[in-house]
Amino acid sequence: MSKASITTLHPTPARLSQVQRRLKPYCQVTELMAGDLLDPTITHRCIGFVHMGQLQLTWRAGEDRNGLSMHAVDPGHGFGGNNWLFDEPPRTLYYQANRLTRVLTIEVEHLRTLLAEELIDLNQPLRDEMLHSYARCWLYLAERHHRAHAAPTEERLLDALHEAAAWSSAMSHPEGTLVKAGREILAQRVGCARVTVSRALSRLVADGRVRLEGRRILLLGHQGRGEAA
């Protein structure tokens, strides 16, 4: 087995921050395979951080099965801070593993007890760390919002395909990731007509950035779900 394959199958754990190292003995360990959804009970009642792998934050509303992919949470970064910082955190947020992933989580109520007693000195450092994660998230979303309004159709279509690569319907491929997203769904994501999506897709095919594979689209060179194959 090649060195690259070993790295792919066994991601290197993140180097934990001082705050995370202090919290680790009180945390629950959860391991997810690519495509697994983090238990909603954990998502809506805990804070945590990614020890290895990657989580994809998704906003789901109504019957939207795939939802809107917001941003990725990489090793060493926290998530779920809204459960601790807000009285009524949103219930439409979900986390899905993009590859083999290990997360460390702690229930907010238990955390509050610890921060009031034996870990009282972690109150501000933990808050600062969570706020840093939120700042990073919002900077990414601001850039994405700008691209959605200013970028060419092809670039916005590529963003939509990268989003689809995090869905459970995506499949690994030696040359990238196979995504399953119909023209209508892509048109909704990009904000244009289906015929415009078809034309932009043809230009991406001509540029060698994607390839049509039956009802799926091969996102060439993409390393996401394929890393957990």
Query: Would 3-148 and 151-228 be classified into the same CATH topology?
Result: no
Q: Per-domain residue ranges for the chain?
A: 3-148, 151-228
pLDDT over 50 at 202, yes or no: yes
Domain 3-148 in CATH 2.40.320.10? no
pLDDT digits (tens, 9 = 90+) for 143-199: 767 766 677 888 888 888 888 887 778 888 888 898 988 888 888 777 778 898 899
Q: What is the pTM of this model?
A: 0.62
pLDDT in tens, 48-91: 999 988 888 877 655 555 556 667 788 888 888 878 877 666 66
**C-alpha closest to that of 48 among 12, 19, 88:** 19
- Taking the C-alpha atoms of residue 88 and residue 194, their distance in angstroms, rounded to an integer, is 38
Most confident range, picked from 72-81, 99-108, 214-223: 99-108
Extract the tokens encoding 46: 């805990």
d(CA 20, CA 199): 48
Question: Tens of pLDDT along 104-115?
Answer: 999 999 999 999
CATH placement of domain 151-228: 1.10.10.10
